Structure formats: C-alpha cells, structure tokens
Amino acid sequence: MKYYIIAGEASGDLHGSNLIKQIKLLDTAATIDCWGGDLMQQAGANLVKHYRELAFMGFAEVVKNLPTIFKNLSFCKQDILNFKPDVLVLIDYPGFNLRIAKWAKEHNIKVVYYISPQVWAWKANRVKQMKLCIDKMLCIIPFEKEYYKANWNWEVEYVGHPLTEVISQWSLVNKSKVKSQNPITKEHQSPNTKGFVAILPGSRKQEITKKLPIMLEVAKAFPNYEFVVAKAPGQEDSFYESFLKSYPNVSAISNNTYQLLSVAKAAIVTSGTATLETALFGVPEVVCYKTSNISYAIGKRLVKIKFISLVNLIMDKLIVKELIQDELTTKNLVAELDDLLNNEVRKKQLQDDYALLWNKLAAGGNASETAARMIWEMVQQ
C-alpha cells in the first residue's frame, strides 16, 4: 500500500518516524512518501520536503510568509496526486494539514489525522469542517476523546501518548550505561560543577531568537552549574554560535536532548512538546513563551485555555511555572530556577505530580503501534 504522511515540525517528525516503523511492520511492502524530517527519512520514508522549510510561528509571521505557504500547499497537492496514495496521514500542523484534508476529501482520498489539532484551545469552529473531511481522528491527549464526544458528537480514538513509549524505549537502551558514558557528562562537565541545567529553546529560528538570549543570561547567576543548550535538529550549528560565545559555563549539544534530560537537575523549556518530554524525564522545569507583541495580542484574544504548558493542561492544574511574554525576564527565570534547584519540598511535589502524569498518558497503551494498526485496517477496507 501507498502512504503519504505530512508532519510540519520536530515533534511531528519524531512521532511520524515511530508511526512509519510500525506501519512497515504491518505492511512490509509499504511505500511511504512524507513531509517531515531526518527521523522520518531514517525510518524508511521518502522525504519530499523538510519541516524546516515549513515552520512559521505566530500570526504576524504567518501573514508575512503567506506566499511561501500557498506555494507549499500547491506543490503538496500536486505531489499527492502524482503519488496516488491509498491513505493520507496528517500529523498535527493544523494550519497546513487541515487545508490539505479538505482538498483530499474532495479528491476521494482517505484521510487519517494523527495527533489532533488543539481545537479545545482555539478555533473550535474548525471541528465542523474536520468532521466532514477526516475519516479517522487519532488523539493522544486523554481529555480529547470526551471533548469531541461531548461538544461535537464525534467519535474519535484515543491511542495513548507516543512520548511514553519513546522515553520508555530510550530508557531501556540507556539505563544500563554508567554515567561516565553519557556524552553530556563526558564532554561538558567541568570539575567543580554542581550539575547540569538544560536549556530547550525550541525548534524554530523565530522562537529561538526571541527567547534564547533571555534564557542564557540566567547562566551568569549560577556560575557553579553547567548550562547546556539543546540545538534543534533542523537548525545549523552556526546559527547558535553568536548566542553562546559570551557565556563560559554554557555549551551546546546536537541530537542528544534525552541524554541531557537524563542528567539535568532542572530545565528552562520553550512551551510545546518539550515541556512534556522534560516532565516525563522527571526534570523540574520552568516553561517559557514569548512571541511578537502583535502575535501575542491576537493570540490572547483568541486562545481560551487556562495554561500554555501541556503538563498543566493534561493534569488540569498548575504544576510547572509558566513565564509568558512580559513575565519572561531573566530576573524571573533566575528566581524560579533557584527554587527548582534548592527547594526540596517543591522538588518532591513535582516528582509526585510527574508520576501521575506518566500514568495518565501511559494508560492508552503503545500509541504508534495502535495508530499504525488502525491506519492499516482502514486501508484494507
């Protein structure tokens, strides 16, 4: 069978790669074309376009790049027609993928949506169109199944969260390794360090440029800690050099984010999937969000959620501190990081909450395997 899969950012590339592996186990003759990244390509798909060419963050930035976006949409539609897939699998990335879903339905192409758009946060009216053009919706956040049923009378599937399987598999492979074999402790630890603080500034150039300078200034207040920046897989090493050169206790790593989280004492994390990964590794974190003033003003009017962090949203309470827009200052980050590193009561409470979070997400089972099976069964119909 022929599968066409579209992911538009780093997290989609990760989950798409595991989905591809599971599809290939079920369908050994599968032919897969994709929009995604290196991981999906390594999993065996033919990479049509890399997500680094697609990622635009914020309302103003999207408007500014509309010609590129429309060009990508046009190219994508033609490429799908040329490929003639048995099924189109769309992974998150709603601004682009929902347009493709509507078009695909008009061309009688089966559509599966894996990782639901966050319509419970904003643009809930999208669901009316989604019900018409999506043949099967596969959700990874526990409350989404009930949300769609109660609010839209739409039966969707909850398959579990793929990060629990990803981190479990990683831990299984790496747990037996001694600390000295970890590339972080081996290459970045100075003799008198108290430990590592992870900085996860995001995957898009726009968000990294906005937040990383503020995050890095925190390192000056903690000279006895080693701060390590996790570089985004879609960005060149040279992009980070100008940011890092003024900080003696800051270094950077590529393709080793989980190794970093496995030894980090705390983390400064950009809002997104990374906040959930950090929590599932049990690392105390502070969540950061900052965009252009125009984008933030528009977003504040449209987005109707109590929290921005997936950790807090899933647990439905404030577990990790969120520093948003004007609150994201070096002074506030220093105060929060000091508490995360030194407040033992706070650390114990975080570990208890993280354990509950893990259990809630793992209850759905192996997400990639379940999603692949549902897609495979649908293709057979």
Q: Which domains does the chain have, with CATH numbers?
A: 2-160+365-380 (3.40.50.2000), 165-362 (3.40.50.2000)
- What's the predicted TM-score (pTM) here? 0.82
d(CA 213, CA 137): 39
Of 233, 275, 272, 279, nearest to 252 by C-alpha is: 233
Tell me how far apart the alpha carbons of residues 270 and 240 are, in angstroms, rounded to a whole number.
Answer: 16
- Which stretches of the chain are DSSP H helices? 10-26, 38-42, 59-64, 66-83, 94-106, 126-133, 142-152, 162-174, 183-188, 205-217, 237-244, 257-263, 273-280, 293-302, 310-315, 330-342, 344-362, 367-380
Q: Which residues are CB-neighbours of 31 under 8 A, at least 6 positions away?
A: 1, 2, 3, 46
Q: What is the mean pLDDT of each run of 10 residues along the chain (381 residues)?
A: 93 94 96 96 96 61 63 94 97 93 96 94 90 96 94 95 92 70 71 88 86 95 95 83 88 91 96 93 95 63 77 94 93 97 96 95 88 94 79
Residue with tokens 């990060």: 163
Listing DSSP states for 349-364 in one string gives HHHHHHHHHHHHHHTT
What DSSP character marks residue 51?
Answer: G
CA 39 to CA 5: how far, in whole Å? 13
Region of residue 153 (left: phi > 0; alpha: psi -120 to 50; beta: else): left
**Strand 195-200 versus strand 157-158 pairing type:** unpaired
Q: What is the rounded distance in angstroms from the CA atom of residue 354 to the CA atom of residue 267?
A: 14
